[in-house]
Chains A and B, each alone.
Chain A
Amino acid sequence: MSHKELNLKLKVWRQKNAQTAGAFKTYELNGISDEMSFLEMLDVLNEKLITEGGEPVAFDHDCREGICGMCSLYIDGKPHGPWQANTTCQLHMRAFNDGDTITIEPWRANSFPIVKDLTVDRSAFDRIIQAGGYVSVNTGNAVDGNSLPIEKDKADEAFASAMCIGCGACVAACKNSSAMLFLSAKVSHLALLPQGAPERKSRVLNMVAQMDKEGFGSCTNTGACEAACPKEISIANIARLNKEYIGASLTSE
């Protein structure tokens, strides 16, 4: 495989904190290997900035394996950059060409306030999970895996929903800053399994209430969330969330 080196222009959003206004700053970065990951490219930029006595760009990352949901970045008009079903940490520089200008923005939503530069506070998602995204039954000792029968299709679908890593790309992609793809994945995951049944109704009601309290928008089914999701969570989950909500809200006291 041929190796290329890229000379890039980066337009990066710089913002000191949530209280101050931010602005784009342009950086020239030369000799970037196309085998680097996107975050490694940002590491190179930060080393350069530190050497020059400047302030490094703050961005979120953790596992760099595409499974933790920590990385974000809205790259050239798409959450997690140009590749499909991919997280920013798994985006590689071969996706770009020599001489490209890359625009890097943080997730934009009032429910995700900017901490610094490209880092946003996604604790709203944690609070939505705390409102009901779990099973609170006493499980006792570990039981035999086959003692609770689960239909294979249901288990597969629950697993597909459980793939959600809570990165917030759905909110970033949605014109309404709606968190419904995230919420619907969490609700579907447990609604499809027998373990989730006892708290099925209270779960969806409490989680929707918390989502509204956090100030996320309403879903208009545009499909942008599904297209941007690094884990390809299906928008059909949102319809299932709606069904769960109708059932629970009509039959609750």
Chain B
Amino acid sequence: MTFKQMFTSSVGKKLIMGFTGIFLILFLIVHAGLNATIWANDGGLMFNKAGHFMGSNAVPRILEIGLFIGIFLHIYQGYLLTIENRTKRSVGYAVNYSKGSKWYSRSMAILGTLILLFLIAHIYHFWTPSRLGGIGNIKALGTVDHNGVELHNLYAEMDLVFTNPYIVVLYVLACGSLAYHLAHGFQSAFKTIGVHNRRYHALISSIGYGFSILIPLIFALMPISFYFDWIK
């Protein structure tokens, strides 16, 4: 059996979804942890320093390539599976069977699409000006001086972006989509990679529900904190 055969079978395709899903779950922890520095209440100094490190050090820059590959694979494989699975029943039911499963378990593609639309806006708001600012017509970020080191003022950019209530609402809604996507995805990913022991499954399910509430809540509080001027 070749690796190609392994990863293109119905089980193998799901393995790609499961492994990239768990990888993206780990990324969310790093992202939420780093961004939590906005609440240091030091005028954004710690946050800008963290942003500077992530943008200038080779290690996070290399890991970033892995992140983009992971995101791409998860999205590509997700759509591929959704489209493929839809072709398996040409004539649908007159009465749908909805009692046996949760609505968000059946709506992973729609929830994922909402997250993708948010991701495009999010990358446009912060990643592009931070990494590619000044190239062509791309807006460059302002800078602050810290002990002779020029830091991108990402904190001021966040403050600016989140003065727009529509953007704040968009971010909060995206966090809601993420919460439901994780509520199914977290435990499903572990089932997909073969965790079948009841003991572990119960543990993973509980952690998964906690994670899917906590992480999106932390993210949602960021635009809210800026909009309501909760941080100084």
Binding site for B on A (CB under 8 A): 11, 22, 24, 74, 76-79, 103, 105, 108-111, 173, 175-178, 180, 205, 208-209, 211-212, 215-228, 235-246, 249-250, 252-253
Are A236 and B201 closer than 8 Å at their CB atoms? yes
Docked complex Cα distance between A178 and B192 (Å): 14
Q: A222: which B residues are within 8 A, CB to CB?
A: 100-102, 105-106, 184
Docked complex Cα distance between A111 and B1 (Å): 25
- How far apart are B113's CB and chain A's nearest CB, in angstroms? 15
Are B95 and A77 closer than 8 Å at their CB atoms? yes
Docked complex Cα distance between A110 and B90 (Å): 7
B81 within 8 A of A: yes
Q: A220: which B residues are within 8 A, CB to CB?
A: 14, 81, 85, 105, 108, 188
Q: B149: which A residues are within 8 A, CB to CB?
A: none
- How far apart are A217's CB and chain B's nearest CB, in angstroms? 4
10 A-B pairs in the complex with CB atoms less than 8 angstroms apart: A11-B94, A77-B96, A105-B95, A178-B10, A220-B105, A221-B187, A223-B100, A228-B97, A241-B11, A246-B194
Also in contact, A223 and B105, with CB within 8 A (given A173-B100, A246-B15): yes
Q: A238: which B residues are within 8 A, CB to CB?
A: 191
Q: B99: which A residues are within 8 A, CB to CB?
A: 77-78, 227
The contact of A218 among B14, B90, B93, B194, by CB within 8 Å, is: B14
Also in contact, A221 and B97, with CB within 8 A (given A177-B88, A178-B10): no
Are B14 and A242 closer than 8 Å at their CB atoms? yes
The 4 residue pairs across chains A and B that have the minimum distance between CB atoms: A243-B194, A227-B100, A77-B95, A239-B196
Are B97 and A217 closer than 8 Å at their CB atoms? no
Q: A242: which B residues are within 8 A, CB to CB?
A: 11, 14-15, 191-194, 196
Also in contact, A246 and B88, with CB within 8 A (given A103-B94, A228-B100, A239-B201): no
Q: A24: which B residues are within 8 A, CB to CB?
A: 94
Are A226 and B100 closer than 8 Å at their CB atoms? yes
The contact of B95 among A103, A241, A252, by CB within 8 Å, is: A103
Docked complex Cα distance between A109 and B92 (Å): 8
Are B90 and A219 closer than 8 Å at their CB atoms? no
Also in contact, A110 and B96, with CB within 8 A (given A220-B105, A224-B101): no
- Size category of the binding interface on chain B: 35 or more
Docked complex Cα distance between A226 and B99 (Å): 11
B198 within 8 A of A: yes
Are A177 and B100 closer than 8 Å at their CB atoms? no
- How far apart are B217's CB and chain A's nearest CB, in angstroms? 24
Known: A217-B88, A220-B81, A223-B100. 5 other contacts (CB 8 A): A105-B95, A110-B88, A224-B100, A245-B11, A249-B12
Docked complex Cα distance between A253 and B91 (Å): 40
Binding site for A on B (CB under 8 A): 1, 5-6, 9-15, 81, 84-85, 87-102, 105-106, 108, 184, 187-188, 190-196, 198, 201
The contact of B97 among A78, A211, A250, by CB within 8 Å, is: A78
Are B93 and A212 closer than 8 Å at their CB atoms? no
Are B15 and A74 closer than 8 Å at their CB atoms? no
Q: A78: which B residues are within 8 A, CB to CB?
A: 97, 99-100
Docked complex Cα distance between A240 and B192 (Å): 9
Q: B198: which A residues are within 8 A, CB to CB?
A: 236
Also in contact, A177 and B201, with CB within 8 A (given A77-B97, A221-B188, A222-B105): no
Q: B91: which A residues are within 8 A, CB to CB?
A: 22, 108
Docked complex Cα distance between A88 and B165 (Å): 55
Docked complex Cα distance between A222 and B97 (Å): 12
Also in contact, A212 and B9, with CB within 8 A (given A24-B94, A105-B95, A220-B108): yes
Are A236 and B196 closer than 8 Å at their CB atoms? yes
Docked complex Cα distance between A177 and B100 (Å): 14
